Amino acid sequence: MTETTSRKTAPIRVQLLEAAEAAVLAKGFNATSIDELIMAVGISKSGFFYHFKDKAALARALLERYVEAENVLFDEVSRRATELSEDPLHGFLVELKMLAEVMQDIPNGHPGCIIASYCYQDRLFDDDVRQLTANALLGWRHRFKARLERIAAVYPPRIDVDLDDLADMISALADGGIILSKVMRNPDLLPRQIMLYRAFVRAVFLGN
Amino acid sequence: MTETTSRKTAPIRVQLLEAAEAAVLAKGFNATSIDELIMAVGISKSGFFYHFKDKAALARALLERYVEAENVLFDEVSRRATELSEDPLHGFLVELKMLAEVMQDIPNGHPGCIIASYCYQDRLFDDDVRQLTANALLGWRHRFKARLERIAAVYPPRIDVDLDDLADMISALADGGIILSKVMRNPDLLPRQIMLYRAFVRAVFLGN
DNA sequence: CGCGATACTGGACTCGTGGTACATTTTGCG
DNA sequence: CGCAAAATGTACCACGAGTCCAGTATCGCG
């Protein structure tokens, strides 16, 4: 019934989060006014405070929603890739290619990473929110490290790298690639960096 | 006479820029108030507007100062590295190691990249400022691509990569690494990502 | 010595907007 | 109906950007 891309209008709360996400990624959290959000979805200021007790609650909800969505995406891509291949290395290489394609297919390029945005404004948030961002990155490290370890068990690394670092590298390149793409106004740069990462992984485990 | 790290108090304008840089990297540009800056350096509001005609002028000056400083750093490291080695590949590998060490040696970790910060708040700035950020990244692409081309002329690449992408990768990893370090509160993550990049460059041109 | 820049101080005032509180009302639904 | 969910309206305060202007301290310099 409730599709992810619903035809009918989404609940107000979700509309608020969507408007907020776009605004925060374009102007930062502090410069995102509650007024503009309520204008965008057509409710009153009091209506906003019915859904979020204050602006900090919006910040947290925004972050949770973003992390959740990313995890769903990673799960999905990972699932599809492992279906296609028994071999852990081959499967991971397929996964990375899929990831690059997903990034490539976003109409105006990746809109931005909430974690990166928050990171550069972290004094605006409480420790709770900061902890959530750190945990999200930690989760991705574990996710990718697990895959890398399964690969390393079959393909002994030809290059001496720490698997934690190699797992973190995908997060770093994603965030860095998004920044490159946004600043240089070229959506291709992000997927290209992902493909470079793929080439590196290949070199580490395959030696070419 | 005028040293970069002067013992005497820096000119007010520079003090303002320093205070602004720290605040902007911690809270974002919009949340950085003129009031807090003048409190920090101990001048009046009128004093601020004597130095900067408005807040936008501060934003631009901050960016220019940052880009300038980074370029000086890159020039310096590059110069020292090329002095140590005739071979372009070896020289570049030395340079990357030095870069990682510089990042390692920053007391509380890298404070953050103004370009990344501005990128996530770009609607706050005019086209002029956005152009400056794009040009800075473009400059770094050219800088590193030139080095990579000189390497490729001697060491034919063993892995098929686009040199523009490989040049961009250092910017992406730097920005991504800074985010990793800040979010996870581990200053080591940035230099480690730089060293991973180094390993990749080595693999591309040396095959291991 | 005194002229004129440079580098500010002080104060008063406008304007817009963010954030909050609270009392009240509409809407949907069993 | 009757109750809860989902709002509305209104009033209020604090604060930050920006403007204007009149005044002052400190220089270097002819």
**What's the pLDDT tens digit per position in B88-136?**
999 999 999 999 999 999 999 999 999 999 999 999 998 999 999 999 9
Domain boundary pick from A52, A69, A93: A52
Whether residue A111 is found in the same domain as residue A157: yes
Residue nearest to nucleotide D20 (CA to C1'): B46
SS3 A17: helix
Residue of A nearest to B177 (CA): A172
pLDDT at residue B8, rounded to an integer:
54
Residue A29 — φ and ψ, nearest 5°? Answer: -70, -45
Cα separation, A81 vs A94, in Å, equals 6
Partners of A182 on chain B (C-beta within 8 Å) are 119, 122
Query: Which of A3-17, A19-33, B113-127 is least confident?
Result: A3-17
Whether residue B68 is found in the same domain as residue B46: no
pLDDT at residue A4, rounded to an integer:
37
Whether residue A96 is found in the same domain as residue A160: yes
pLDDT over threshold 90, residue B184: yes
Instruction: Name which of B106, B119, B126, B146 is nearest B58 in CA terms.
Output: B126
pLDDT at residue B10, rounded to an integer:
77
Whether residue B126 is found in the same domain as residue B41: no
Whether residue B65 is found in the same domain as residue B151: yes
Q: How wide is the angle at C-alpha A179 spanned by C-alphas A120 and A27, nearest 5°?
A: 50
Cα separation, A122 vs B204, in Å, equals 37
Partners of A119 on chain B (C-beta within 8 Å) are 179, 182-183
Q: What is the pLDDT of residues A180-207, one digit of tens each?
A: 999 999 999 999 999 999 999 999 999 8
pLDDT over threshold 50, residue B4: no
pLDDT at residue B6, rounded to an integer:
39
Chain A 8-27 contacts with nucleic strand D (CB below 7 A)? 11-13
Distance from CA of A101 to the nearest CA of B (A): 17
**Residue range of the domain that includes A6:** 1-52
DSSP structural state of residue B197: H
Whether residue B4 is found in the same domain as residue B107: no
Residue A176 — φ and ψ, nearest 5°? Answer: -65, -40
CB-based contact A4:A14 (threshold 8 Å): no
Chain A 112-131 contacts with nucleic strand D (CB below 7 A)? none
A208 Cβ contacts chain D strand, under 7 Å? no
CB-based contact A37:A21 (threshold 8 Å): no
DSSP structural state of residue B10: P
pLDDT over threshold 50, residue B3: no
Please report, for the domain that includes residue A156, its CATH number: 1.10.357.10
Residues ≥6 apart with Cβ < 8 Å to A79: none
Instruction: Name which of B188, B166, B168, B163 is nearest B177 in CA terms.
Output: B188
Q: What is the pLDDT of residues B22-58, one digit of tens each?
A: 999 999 999 999 999 999 999 999 999 999 999 999 9
Partners of B27 on chain A (C-beta within 8 Å) are 30, 121, 123-124
Whether residue A12 is found in the same domain as residue A84: no
Whether residue B175 is found in the same domain as residue B195: yes
The number of folded domains in chain A is 2
Whether residue A35 is found in the same domain as residue A99: no
Residue B69 CB neighbours (<10 A): 13
Whether residue A93 is found in the same domain as residue A110: yes
Average pLDDT over chain A, rounded to whole? Answer: 92
Domain boundary pick from A30, A52, A74: A52
pLDDT band (50, 70, 90) for residue B11: confident
pLDDT over threshold 60, residue B194: yes
Whether residue B28 is found in the same domain as residue B45: yes
Domain boundary pick from A16, A32, A52: A52
* Rg (alpha carbons) of chain B, rounded to whole number: 19
A74 Cβ contacts chain C strand, under 7 Å? no
Please report, for the domain that includes residue A42, its CATH number: 1.10.10.60
Whether residue A142 is found in the same domain as residue A177: yes
The CB-side HSE value for B5 (13 A sphere, CA atoms) comes to 0
